[in-house]
């Protein structure tokens, strides 16, 4: 009888141990919307010259690419005579917020708000803003819409 009791107790301990090890939390936690967005933003993005607007700068826009990080990107090339940096943050819901554009010319300034959005497939990033005249400059006035498509 004592042996049966010990075997039953042993089987109970094994069962509890087996159930404990089958914890559903063993796998990786699913990524949050913020983590998914941050991961999608990382990498090289190319400016889509056919859908972008570069005010009246006369810049073609083809061949412009940037490396985007979790907080924004820095531009290079001809466009830097107008702007050189776009910044934003990613909230817990995975939305881009608090966008800003660094205008490099003292002759133009932002006219209104900057918007930044990432499409549902997370492969197209759009930055939109307008500029206005500051002290007699004409080039660079108008609407900018930078549309970047993920390259890698």
Residue 20 lies in a domain: no
| CA dist 109 → 72, 112, 140, 144 (Å) | 20, 9, 10, 12
CB of 56 closer than 8 Å to CB of 139: yes
Residue 17 lies in a domain: no
Count up the domains in the chain and report the number: 1
Residue 101 lies in a domain: yes
CB of 31 closer than 8 Å to CB of 18: no
Cα–Cα distance, 65 to 91 (Å, whole number): 25
pLDDT digits (tens, 9 = 90+) for 41-82: 999 999 999 999 998 888 888 888 899 988 999 988 888 888
Residue 24 lies in a domain: no
pLDDT of amino acid 24: 58
**DSSP-assigned letters across all residues of the chain:** -HHHHHHHHHHHHHHHHHHHHT-GGGSPPPPPHHHHHHHHH-EEEEE-TTT-EETT-----TT-EEEEBTTEEE--SGGGGTEEEEEEEE-TTS-EEEEEEEE--TTEEE-S--EEEE-TTS-EEEEEEEEEESSS--TT-EEEEEEEEE--
Cα–Cα distance, 123 to 19 (Å, whole number): 43
pLDDT of amino acid 34: 95
Averaged pLDDT for residues 92-113: 91
Residue 4 lies in a domain: no
Residue with tokens 């819409």: 145
Looking at the predicted structure, is the pLDDT value of residue 112 above 80?
yes
pLDDT of amino acid 60: 87
Residue 109 is part of which domain span?
32-150
Residue 21 lies in a domain: no
Residue 104 lies in a domain: yes
Residue 23 lies in a domain: no
Cα–Cα distance, 122 to 105 (Å, whole number): 31
pLDDT digits (tens, 9 = 90+) for 27-38: 678 999 999 999
């Amino acid at each position: 009888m004592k042996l049966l009791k010990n075997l039953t107790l042993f089987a109970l301990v094994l069962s509890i141990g087996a159930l404990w090890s089958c914890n559903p939390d063993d796998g990786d936690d699913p990524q949050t919307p913020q983590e998914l967005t941050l991961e999608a933003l990382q990498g090289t993005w190319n400016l889509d010259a056919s859908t972008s607007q570069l005010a009246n700068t006369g810049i073609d826009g083809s061949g412009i690419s940037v490396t985007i990080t979790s907080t924004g990107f820095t531009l290079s090339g001809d466009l830097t005579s107008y702007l050189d940096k776009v910044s934003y943050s990613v909230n817990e819901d995975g939305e881009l917020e608090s966008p800003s554009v660094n205008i490099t010319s003292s002759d133009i300034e932002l006219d209104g708000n900057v918007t930044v959005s990432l499409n549902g497939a997370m492969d197209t990033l759009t930055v939109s803003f307008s500029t206005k005249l500051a002290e007699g400059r004409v080039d660079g006035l108008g609407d900018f819409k930078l549309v970047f498509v993920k390259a890698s």
